[in-house]
Structure 1
Amino acid sequence: MSWRTVIGVALLIAALASGWSAWRNRANVVPTAAEQGRSDYVLGDFEIITLGKDGKESMTLRAPSMERSRVDETSTITKPLFLLPDEAGNHWRLRADTGWVSAKGEEVRLRGNVAGDSPTDGKTPPTTFRTAALDVLPKQDIARTDGQVTMTRPGLVQSGVGFQTNLKNKQYSLLSQVKTRYEPNAAR
């Protein structure tokens, strides 16, 4: 037997072994980190209007981009603006640098320069609040934060650490280190 035949048989055995190994391990493919980090979909410069059970607008979301994670089905939003209508159809404006929405929509986390502004309908005094982070539980009608919050109305500035509001009955609580400054019209 020549040395060429020995090498040929060795190469044939190696090819068969590698083919068998590849065939056997074909179902054990592990997704790469890049595939795991990919989004199901990406929205750009969009507006989403959600309706309540009564068929009326319950919320509008506008943002420059939103990505839904393939792995856990959560959504990440850049510069979200939420418009929340009141009974008269006027909108509260709630915005932040970033937003995160859980897979089933039961939790929304707003982070960075969170700002809420009441409607400017002339019937109620303009009200604003500012904080660094806000967690919203839409199904429970609750919004809350453990951080510093500042609320303003004409003639009144309130600040505190920790905040919770019931969105249904429109009652809010500053939880600790509350400071209130009254500024009557004559002083301004």
Structure 2
Amino acid sequence: MNPSIVMDRLRSWFVLIPLLLLLGAIYWLSQQVEPLPVKPDNSMRHDPDFMINQFTATTLNVQGKPQYVMSARKLIHYPDDNSTHVEAPALSSFEPDKPPLHIYADKGMMSGKGDEVFLHENVKIVRAASTDQSEMTFTTSYLHVIPDLGLAETDQPVMLVDERNIVRAIGMKFDSKAHIVKLLAQVRSQHVPKNP
């Protein structure tokens, strides 16, 4: 092969070498100044860390007898706010010398410490009959329960039904330990007389 032809070909390649070096330097520089990929901020996520289906939990009193029984179709715990959400919750309270109290709802949420329960949708409280009182049923759409204090309250419409009374009101405070029901506003009552 003729040396002048080889030199001509090399000269044409030498013109490209600075251009290739320049492209390499530009690529390297762009890699250095390009921001690092953003890691997702998982602190804003609300993902469960565990779920339990068909569960029942029982709290015993000092005598070793059931004081509270809570069950639900599904329990879901969220670690970001330490909340526990439940589907179809049922809470029962058993106090010595008092009729049992049962609370049901479609949905609920327990506080991180478990000392407060917030019930939503089709909330129903049933106080069992005793020797001197008939069964009493309360219905509402929302209920805030503090089990250890025996308190339940709502600011929503409520209906109370017992053997001879139907009472409607807006808002209610219920103290199961003192057996006191306080209706807050717009109270309407219908009394059915006892048959002779």
Normalising by structure 2, we get a TM-score of 0.77
Between 53-62 and 37-46, the greater mean CA deviation after superposition? 53-62
Which of 2, 6, 9 is matched with 2:25 structurally? 9
CA distance in 2, matches of 1:123, 1:168: 16
* 1:68 counterpart = 2:77: yes
Determine helix, strand or coil for the equivalent of 1:71.
Answer: coil
Determine helix, strand or coil for the equivalent of 2:49.
Answer: strand
* 1:167 counterpart = 2:183: no
Which of 76, 87, 107 is matched with 2:116 structurally? 107
Once superposed, which parts of structure 1, at least 4 consecutive aligned residues long, lie more than 6 Å away?
none
CA distance in 1, matches of 2:28, 2:88: 60
Deviation at 1:61, TM superposition (A): 1.5
Which of 16, 19, 31 is matched with 2:41 structurally? 31
Between 176-185 and 9-18, the greater mean CA deviation after superposition? 9-18
Q: What pairs up with 1:1-188 in 2 under 5 angstroms?
A: 1-18=17-34, 22=36, 29-32=39-42, 36-87=45-96, 91-119=100-128, 124-186=133-195
Deviation at 1:50, TM superposition (A): 2.2
The CA deviation string for residues 8-67 of structure 1, in whole angstroms up to 9 with x for no partner, is 23333434555xx53xx8xx844258x712112222121122234554322111111121
Identical positions, percent: 21
For structure 1, the residue ranges without an aligned partner over 5 or more in a row are: none
Q: Quick check: which has more Rg, 1 or 2?
A: 2
Residue type of the partner of 1:6?
A: L
Normalising by structure 1, we get a TM-score of 0.80
CA distance in 1, matches of 2:89, 2:139: 15
Q: Does the 8 Å CA contact 1:148/1:159 hold for their aligned counterparts? A: yes
For structure 2, the residue ranges without an aligned partner over 5 or more in a row are: 1-16
How many residues are aligned here? 180
The CA deviation string for residues 49-92 of structure 1, in whole angstroms up to 9 with x for no partner, is 22345543221111111212222111111111112223269642
Supply the RMSD in Å over aligned alpha carbons.
Answer: 2.8
Residue type of the partner of 2:94?
A: P
Residue type of the partner of 2:21?
A: T
